[in-house]
A = this chain, B = another copy of it.
Amino acid sequence: MDLMDLSRQKIHTLYVSKAAAKAQMEFDYDGPSMKTAVPGPRSQELTKQLGDIQNVGAVNFFCNYEESRGNYLVDVDGNRMLDIYTQISSIPIGYNHPALLKLMTNPNNLSTFVNRPALGILPPENFPDKIAESLLSVAPSGMTRVQTMACGSCSNENAYKAMFIWYRNKERGYKTPSDEDHSTCMINQAPGCPDLSILSFMGAFHGRTMGCLATTHSKVIHKLDVPSFDWPIAPFPKLQYPLEEFTRENALEEARCLEEVEDLIVKWRQKGKPVAGIVIEPIQAEGGDNHASPDFFRRLRDIARKHGCAFHVDEVQTGGGGTGKFWAHEHWGMDDPADIVSFSKKLLTGGYYHKDELQADKPYRIFNTWMGDPSKNLFLSEVLNVIRRENLLEEVTRSGKALLNGLYELQAQYPGILSRARGQGTFCAIDICDGATRDTILVKARDKGVLLGGCGDRSIRFRPALVFKEYHVHLLLNIFNDVLANHK
């Protein structure tokens, strides 16, 4: 914060660091390079072509992934952009990382790509070892069991099912289900298909399949016209930033939300739709990068325990190192942070960790044909090797500090445009005065070679890969500063 009075000129000189960039040349490029407006003519042509097959309203541009490297995404018109969005936060160690390319050339790995197994019934010989060296090596505190799935939504759907099964077994006193349970479940009726609920938070995003979608409350476009469940929705704390300056106000807001959580649990139990589980993101991402304090999460975890609800931490977007720790919930400093932790995106495979007692009591209850994809586990193993070898979590912490400090400075410089800079590691965000201005700024930044994403109504989210170094931060801040300076 002591740098806040730096002039724009000073920021410019301060952030240039060409020498450091050179060292990474074989893997990374040394800066953006823009040849056309984006989308350029080739992208437009391809968008038209794809438009005959699909809705292309969300397509930004077409990519040349072969030419993309490290933090730089190259498009089909030869534009090279510093990528701070990384395929909706799903590229862990940059494009075409040499370690991943090498993995592909190992003939021992071919069969894993060519023969996708039904993992639940016929796993490959190396499956336990690969799981141990990949997912188990980064298992959250207190968890030794993990189930892989194909994507984030499937991970959460199956985590919810695990919580429902666990809850009903408790309710039944672990007795065999009754004939009525059996017959009613086949026709979607209680008690076989019980009126249980999952408590979620306003602003949450947990996916788009129908179970997940009933716990997603971030944007109308996700939910409109899709039938849903009558499940309780608690307010997520609306905090003031920087958090350390508003501890008292924020604590009050968090207490208000927690009180509401307990009220809802009681109310839904009375309604005959008991809360089997609580699901929450450590940082609400799609909903606008909303943070809460470790104290909030600790208390929420206690409330879940007190009321006999499972506690599910959805780390689909926050997991994988972007916050400076491998799991965002590690910032809470708890030995027993959750009953279920789900993941996807940067982990390259979906899935969820769970405590022993959350394991379904019988096979085929949590099941599908593929149950994940071993070829993704191969990549994940190698990604984790790179993270360890290159100390990427430390890099993220260092880059994240530089990024957040830079955002604080810019916010001080452009108080009419920017506010509420916030973040953990490089998992940062800042608010723009309004949604339309935010969208304009995103386009202008892209025209200058920086690819950013929006979230919430008017936020910009920063989601670089873990190989995003301090000099990339400075490059980003320089360009972002230019965009803001020229804005009007």
Binding site for B on A (CB under 8 A): 42, 46, 49-50, 52-66, 68, 73, 76, 87-88, 90-91, 95-97, 100-101, 104-105, 108, 110-118, 120-125, 127-128, 131-132, 136, 144-147, 150-154, 157-158, 160-161, 164-165, 167-169, 177, 181-182, 185-189, 192-197, 202, 207-212, 214, 217, 220-231, 233, 344-345, 348, 359-360, 362-370, 375, 379
Q: Report the separation of the CA atoms of residues A3 and B322 in the bound assembly, to the nearest whole angstrom.
A: 68
Are B127 and A194 within 8 A (Cβ)? no
Check A118–B88 contact: CB distance below 8 A: yes
Contact (A111, B65) CB under 8 Å given A53-B128, A144-B53, A145-B54? yes
Nearest-Cβ distance from residue A208 to partner chain B, whole angstroms: 6
A76, B132: Cα distance in complex, Å: 19
Inter-chain contacts of A144 with B (CB < 8 A): 52-53
A210 touches B211 (CB 8 A): yes
Q: A50-B123, A161-B208, A177-B225 are in contact. List 16 more A-B contacts (CB 8 A).
A: A53-B128, A55-B360, A57-B363, A57-B364, A60-B121, A65-B117, A150-B150, A150-B151, A153-B368, A154-B209, A164-B225, A185-B223, A192-B220, A192-B224, A196-B227, A197-B227
* 5 pairs, CB–CB < 8 Å, chain A vs chain B: A54-B145, A54-B146, A59-B120, A187-B233, A208-B368
Q: Which B residues are CB-close (under 8 A) to A193?
A: 223, 225-228
Contact B209 A209 (CB under 8 A): yes
Q: Indicate if the CB atoms of B50 and A227 lie closer than 8 Å.
A: no
Bound: A46/B362 CA distance, A: 19
| A366→B55 contact, CB < 8 A | yes
| Contact indicator A188/B364 (Cβ below 8 Å) | no
